[in-house]
Amino acid sequence: MITMQLLIGIGAICGVSTVLAVIMVIADATIANYGEVKVRINEDKELVVPGGKPLLGSLMEQKIFIPSACGGRGSCGLCKVKVTSGAGEYLATELPWISEEEKKENIHLSCQLKVKKDIGIRIPERLFNVKEYAAEVVSLKDLTYDIKQVTMKLLDPMEIVFKAGQYIQFQVPEYELSKESVYRAYSVASQPSVKDSVELEIRLVPNGICTTYVFEHLKEGERITINGPYGEFFLRDSENEIVFIAGGSGMAPIKSILYDMREKGSKRKARYFFGARAVRDLFLVEEMKELEKDLENFSFIPALSEPEEKDNWTGETGLITDVLDRHLENGDGTEAYLCGSPGMIDASIKTLTKNGIPEELIYYDKFA
């Protein structure tokens, strides 16, 4: 009797669930089926994609990569694209990221915008240069106690074209800290003439999804996926004197730019202020000394904010902003390139503008 009741119960649950599941499957194939839709890019290219999916993912399947740090969850606000036709209304999930001016221009978050009918979009041409690369980790080296140098050999495609200073995105696979694969952005530390490999400098962030993965799980010989290059952080062509400012792993893009300048025989006057806490936070000092010899008008100025007794430090001390303040006299004909924590960048911008360097000549990569 009890078994009978149990069987009826199980049967009823299964029956109800089956009926509902069938309804859902039918709905999915009819109501939610948008067929194939066309995406026109820059009034030029036309792609045919399955409808009903977010634009970001649809473009990614077609090997067009819009920069996005959160991987499509609508939490970074980077994947903006200009929609020229077929956009529809803004979703509440987009609004926090879209300013009034951007609204007028019909700029949407591509991870939230679903492609349900033919649409036209406009993206910068250089994004077509962005590719996905399969790569193999060939070396992992400790630069300091909390910064690792990761060198990857590109397998497919085998070469990358980028400007010194740009960044790539590193795909972290699923592992214990992250249930889904996520992307994190890192500046390329190697120079563009090295086409078959990419070097990154990664600083350990406690509990950071990507940095924990790199520090505790990544091994030499492992296959990983990266995509890029992205970013507007590269040396502008001018005769201006250059001020580089970096802290921690912000060294990476500056190193790339400096090596590139050496290869091109640049004679521009350049000073590189590197902020660190103590000697144990300094790295690549020898390489920078080499550069001072090879580049005619370049000087490297490391500054320690809290040198330890045992360091016997004779160089600059103090916060990077104080050191800057002491060295800058006249901002005329100077441009600045900054890479580091948001706090350091904001403080440095203040010091630079105070010393007469106009904001439009200050370029930076802010990695939160």
Partner 1 sequence: MSNGITFYAIFFAAIFTNNILLTNYLGMCSFLAVSREVKTSQGLGMAVAIVMAATSVLNWLAYRYILVPLDLVYLRFIVFIVIIAAFVQLIEMIIERVSDSLYASLGIFLPLITVNCAILGVCLFMVIREYTLLQAFFYGLGSGIGWALAIIAMAGIRQKMAKARVPKGLAGAGITLIIAGIMALAFMGFSGMIQIT
Binding site for partner 1 (CB under 8 A): 5, 8-9, 12-13, 16-17, 20, 23-24, 27-28, 31-32, 88-93, 114, 116
CB 272 within 8 A of CB 301: yes
Closest CB to partner 1 among 23 and 48? 23
* CA dist., res. 169 & res. 242, Å (int): 27
Closest CB to partner 1 among 9 and 342? 9
Q: Tell whether the torsion through CA atoms of 62, 68, 72 and 78 is positive or negative.
A: negative
Which of the 8 DSSP states describes residue 97?
A: G
* CA dist., res. 301 & res. 185, Å (int): 27
CB of 8 to partner 1, least distance (A): 6
CB 55 within 8 A of CB 123: no
CB of 119 to partner 1, least distance (A): 12
Closest CB to partner 1 among 22 and 155? 22
Closest CB to partner 1 among 24 and 48? 24
CB 243 within 8 A of CB 225: no
- Residues 6 or more apart whose Cβ sits within 8 Å of residue 238: 335
Q: Tell whether the torsion through CA atoms of 95, 100, 103 and 107 is positive or negative.
A: negative
CB of 58 to partner 1, least distance (A): 16
Closest CB to partner 1 among 94 and 316? 94
CB of 62 to partner 1, least distance (A): 23
Closest CB to partner 1 among 87 and 209? 87
Closest CB to partner 1 among 20 and 285? 20
CB of 7 to partner 1, least distance (A): 11
CB of 94 to partner 1, least distance (A): 9
Which of the 8 DSSP states describes residue 73?
A: S
Closest CB to partner 1 among 108 and 131? 108
User: What's the per-residue H, E or C state across 154-217?
Assistant: EEECCCCCCCCCCEEEEEECCECCECCCEEEEEEECCCCCCCCEEEEEEECCCCCHHHHHHHHC
Task: Output the CA angle 38-42-47, nearest 5 degrees.
Answer: 25
CB of 67 to partner 1, least distance (A): 24
Long-range CB pairs of 103-106 (<8 Å, 24+ gap) are 106/82
Closest CB to partner 1 among 12 and 285? 12
Q: Which residue is associated with the tokens 């036209």?
A: 120
CB of 90 to partner 1, least distance (A): 7
Per the document, the length of the chain is 368
CB 38 within 8 A of CB 120: no
Neighbours of 300 (CB within 10 A): 21
CB of 23 to partner 1, least distance (A): 7
